[in-house]
Amino acid sequence: MDWEIVIGLETHAQLSTHSKMFSGASTAFGAPPNAQACAIDIALPGVLPVINRAAVDRAVRFALAVGGQISPRSVFARKNYFYPDLPKGYQISQYEVPVVVGGSIRIETAAGVKIVQLTRAHLEEDAGKSLHEDFHGATGIDLNRAGTPLLEIVTEPQMSSADEAVAYARTLHALVRWIDVCDGNMQEGSFRCDANVSVRRRGDKRLGTRCEIKNLNSFRFLDQAIRHEATRQIELIESGGRVVQETRLYDPDRGETRPMRSKEDAHDYRYFPDPDLPPLVIDAAWVEQVRAALPELPVARRDRYEREWALSGYDAATLTQSREMADYFEQVVAAVGGAAQAKLVANWVSGELAAALNRDTLEMSDSRVSALALGGLLGRVIDGTISGKIAKEVFDAMWSAGAVESAAADRIIADKGLRQISDSGALEAIIADILRANPGQVAEVRAGKEKAFNFLVGQAMKATRGKGNPAAINTLLRKALAD
C-alpha cells in the first residue's frame, strides 16, 4: 500500500525580551526557583496583566519577515485548564484574532524547493515548570518561566516527510535568530515544536486522523518522532485498526511515541476574550517603524551573493546560515577590497574558519580570528606574499594565539619567515640544483612525461619549505628544461 504522510508544525519561539509578556519580572534563564515569579506571574488576587511592547514588536518583525498580515486589532483570550504550573487556571493566549495571519517559509530538501504556508502566529505566555523528582511524593513547581512571552507559529498541514518538517524547523530557527526575535536555544527550551502527524492513502483527498506529538526540542527528535509516529499509524491501519486523535509524547530512549495520560477534558479549553486585556492595536506607523529597522533577510542576501558576487548557490546558502556569519563574511570582503575577492573569502569563511569554529565548538561571535584579521591574511594571499597553503599555516597560528588586528598575519609571516620566495635569482639556483640531482626525471620530462614535471615542482617546493611561489617555480622550471 502506498501511503502519504501529512505534517503540520506548531512551534513555540520564546521571544527575546528582558521582562515577561504581562509583568515586569525578568526572563533570564537559570535563576533560583521562583526568584523571577512576581505577583502577576503567580496570580495573586487583584493583579492585572500589562502587555510588553517589545514582545509585540517582535511579533510584527516576524510577520514582516514571513510576509504575513499584521492584525491591526488582535484579541487576547483565556485558554482555561487546570495544571499546577499554571497558577491562574488559564493561559493568556490569542484565539479568534491572532496578531499574525498567513505568511510563508521557503524550504529546501533533497526533493527540491517548497513553500510552506503559515496559518498564523499568536502571542501567548509560557507556563511554569513541574519538577517530578522526589519531593516526598510531591511535585515541585518553579514559576520562573510562567509568563515568559512566546510566539506560537502554526503551519498549514503541508509537509509530507520528516525531511521537510526538519528543513522547515531549521529554516524557521535560523530566521527567528536572524531577525533577533528569539535566541533559538533549544537546550533551554527557547524553541520547541509540536508535530501534527496523519497518514492517508496516496491520492486520497481527505486528511486522516491526526495525532499531536508534543514538545520536541531537537531537530533529531523531531525527525525520529515523525518517522516513528507515521510508521505506527500505517501499521495500525494496515492491521485493521483506526487512529484515535490524541496527544502523544516521544520517548527517545525507547524510540516510540506513546499517549499522554491526560483526560480528554484537558482539551475543552473554553476560550473567551480576556476581560483584563482590551484589544491590542498595532497602527501602520508602528509597522513602518519595525519595517525600517528590519535587517536584510537571509533569502535576499543569498540572492545578492549569487547575483552580485557570483557565488555558487551552495556557498551563498552556507554563508547565510546565520546573520553573524553573513556579516563576518561581508566584513572580510570589504577588508580585502570588495567583490572581486568574494569567492576566495567565501572559501575561507565556509572552509577554514567554519572548521575551526566547529572544532572548538565556538559561535561565530566568539571567533578567535576577527574579520579584520582574516582580511589582513587574505590580503597577503592576494598580493602574492604567501601561498594559499602557507596561509593555512598562518591561519592556524592566528587561531591559536587569537587575532584581532589586520596586521596580525603580517607579524606571523615575518616572525616565522614565511614570506613567499618569488625572487627569480634564488629560485633559479634551487631549480638548477634539483635538475642536477634528478637526471632521470629530467629525461622523462623531455620525453613528454608530465608526471615527472610535477615531481620536479614538488622537489622545488620542498626545497623552499613550501615558501616558493608555485607560479614562479613553474615558469622558471619550464624555462630551465627548455634550455
Partner 1 sequence: MALDEAAVRRIALLARIALSDAEIDTLQGDLNGILGMIETMQAVDTRGIEPMAHTVDMHARLRADEVTETDRHVEFQALSGQTEDGLYLVPRVIE
Residues that bind partner 1 (CB under 8 A): 17-19, 23-26, 32-39, 42, 44, 50-56, 73, 75-76, 80, 82-84, 97, 130-132, 135, 137-143, 249, 260-262, 265, 268, 270, 273, 275, 277-281
Measured from the CB atom, the residue of 172 and 182 that comes closer to partner 1 is: 182
**Which residue's C-alpha cell is 578567535?**
368
Q: In angstroms, what is the minimal distance from the CB of 28 to partner 1?
A: 8
Closer to partner 1 by Cβ: residue 136 or 206: 136
**Set of cell numbers at residue 438:** 634528478
For partner 1, give the closer residue by CB, 123 or 172: 123
CB nearer partner 1, residue 112 or residue 275: 275
CB-nearer residue toward partner 1: 260 or 480: 260
Three-state DSSP at 189 gives coil
HSE-CB at 178 with a 13 A cutoff on CA atoms is: 26
For the CB of residue 192, give the shortest distance to partner 1 in the complex, in Å.
15
Is there a contact between 48 and 151 (Cβ–Cβ < 8 Å)? no
- Cα separation, 252 vs 225, whole angstroms: 8
Bridge partners for 101 per DSSP: 69, 120
Structure letter (DSSP) for residue 26: B
Question: Letter for the amino acid at 29?
Answer: F
Q: How far apart are CA 332 and CA 373, in angstroms?
A: 8
CB of 141 to partner 1, least distance (A): 4
> How far apart are alpha carbons 274 and 151 in whole angstroms?
18
Closest contact distance (angstroms) between CB of 11 and partner 1 is 20
Q: Using an 8 Å Cβ cutoff, are 81 and 101 in contact?
A: no
Cell numbers at 357, concatenated: 569554529
**How far is C-alpha 305 from the geometric centre of its chain's CA atoms?**
19
Considering the complex, state which of residue 180 and residue 327 has its C-beta at the smaller distance from partner 1.
180
Helix axes 439-446, 450-463, angle to 10 degrees: 140
**Shortest reach from residue 312's CB to partner 1, in Å:** 41
CB of 96 to partner 1, least distance (A): 8
CA 401 to chain CA mean position, Å: 28
CB of 79 to partner 1, least distance (A): 13
User: Whose Cβ is closer to partner 1: residue 265's or residue 483's?
Assistant: 265
Q: Which is nearer to partner 1, 88 or 302 (CB)?
A: 88
CA 99/CA 75 separation, integer angstroms: 8
Least distance from C-beta 253 to partner 1, angstroms?
16
Which amino acid is located at 356 in the chain?
A
Nearer to partner 1, 164 or 229 (CB): 229
Contacts of 222 (CB under 8 A, 6+ apart): 162, 165, 166, 169, 193, 195, 216
The least distance separating partner 1 from the CB of residue 183, rounded to whole angstroms, comes to 15
User: Hey, what's the cell of 163?
Assistant: 525531511
Strands 246-251 and 211-216: parallel
* Residue in the block written with cell 622537489: 459
Q: How far is CA 67 from CA 103, 188, 375, 430, in A?
A: 5, 28, 36, 64
**CB-wise, 97 or 452, nearer to partner 1?**
97
Cα angle 135, 139, 143; round to 5:
115
**What is the residue whose three cell numbers read 533533497?**
110
**Cβ at position 294, least distance to partner 1 in Å:** 18
* C-beta closer to partner 1: residue 167 or 195: 195
Q: Nearer Cβ to partner 1, position 51 or 372?
A: 51
C-alpha–C-alpha distance, residues 222 and 215, integer Å:
9
Tell the smallest beta-carbon distance from residue 267 to partner 1 (Å). 11
* Shortest CB 232 distance to partner 1, Å: 19
Contact 5, 160 (CB under 8 A): yes
- Residue 11 to residue 217: CA distance in whole angstroms: 10
